[in-house]
């Protein structure tokens, strides 16, 4: 149960190797935090150091595409760790050239969107049953308006974003809630080797924006916050100009 200043006791990170997810855990760290669970596709050898000075950190196996297992996994984690105050949905793949490969594109959609739906609903059902807790969903500005160069990835994030914001509305009055996080380009293992986009940030920057939004009860945050206003314009830019901007 969170205390009066919105410090969680228990955090579940779906995507336990995510640079952004782990940065959010570190930003949440406080003497109140007692349990952090990292859920990863390959749990062996996952680094648990540096995440918390106070909490016990454990690692469990999680496969975003094993949809039937998600609800039981979350229930089992809660049985061991207690009520889940924060569930962070931070798994996903970037893909490469998937606009020309139907099989690769389907796999990307299976992980980024379908996996987000199944794990998100499983988490929401548990949080609703508890009567409290927050699901933090790492979306992306790539889903606000899809770019020609990565439109398959952008479409998966658009679906995830729509799902997360809709789920937040559906949870109203239950005590549980959803915080949707829309980062721009983040310097992380996923984007290593790529040219930086304008307004690039580090995982720690996203974490600070996320936790600040969590504490004030926000439904959506952008990282950096300026992107909210940038995309208020970009989403209405005519198609020919938008395609030129993506070159």
Query: What gap in Å lies between CA 158 and CA 137, rounded to an integer?
Result: 12
Contact between residue 74 and residue 12 where contact means Cβ atoms under 8 Å apart = yes
120 CB contacts (<8 Å, ≥6 apart)?
Answer: 89, 135, 137, 163, 164, 167
Please indicate whether residue 153 is annotated as part of the active site. Answer: yes
Q: How many CB atoms lie within 10 A of CB 69?
A: 16
Which tokens belong to 107? 């796999």
Which of these, 69, 179, 74, lies nearest to 129 by C-alpha position?
A: 74
Of residues 194, 173, 185, the one with CA closest to residue 227: 185
DSSP codes of every residue in 132-193 = -EEEEEE--GGGTS--GGGHHHHHHHHHHHHHHHHHHHHTTTSSEEEEEEEE-SB-STTTTT
Burial category of 242 from C-beta neighbours within 10 Å (exposed 0-12, middle 13-18, buried 19 and up): middle
Residue in 28, 62, 91, 153 annotated catalytic: 153
**Rounded CA separation 190/246 (Å):** 20
Among all chains, which residue has been given the structure tokens 């609903």? Answer: 121
Q: What amino acid positions are annotated as catalytic residues? A: 153
């Amino acid at each position: 149960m969170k205390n009066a200043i919105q410090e969680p006791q228990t955090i579940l990170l779906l995507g336990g190797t995510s640079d952004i997810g782990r940065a959010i855990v570190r930003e949440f760290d406080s003497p109140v935090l007692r349990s952090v669970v990292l859920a990863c596709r390959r749990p062996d050898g996952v680094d648990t150091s540096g995440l918390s000075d106070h909490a016990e950190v454990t690692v469990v196996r999680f496969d975003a595409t094993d949809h039937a297992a998600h609800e039981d996994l979350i229930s089992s984690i809660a049985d061991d760790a207690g009520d889940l105050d924060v569930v962070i949905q931070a798994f996903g793949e970037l893909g490469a050239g998937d606009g020309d490969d139907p099989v690769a594109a389907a796999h990307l959609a299976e992980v980024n969107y379908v996996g987000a739906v199944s794990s998100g609903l499983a988490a929401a059902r548990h949080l609703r049953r508890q009567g409290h807790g927050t699901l933090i969903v790492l979306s992306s500005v790539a889903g606000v308006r899809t770019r020609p160069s990565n439109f398959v990835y952008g479409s998966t994030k658009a679906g995830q974003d729509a799902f997360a914001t809709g789920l937040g509305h559906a949870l109203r009055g239950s005590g549980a809630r959803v915080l949707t996080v829309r980062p721009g380009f983040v310097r992380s293992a996923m984007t290593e080797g790529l040219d930086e986009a304008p307004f690039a940030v580090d995982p720690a920057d996203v974490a600070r924006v996320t936790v600040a939004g969590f504490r004030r009860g926000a439904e959506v945050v952008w990282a950096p916050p300026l992107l909210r206003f940038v995309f208020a314009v970009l989403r209405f830019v005519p198609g020919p100009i938008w395609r030129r901007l993506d070159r």
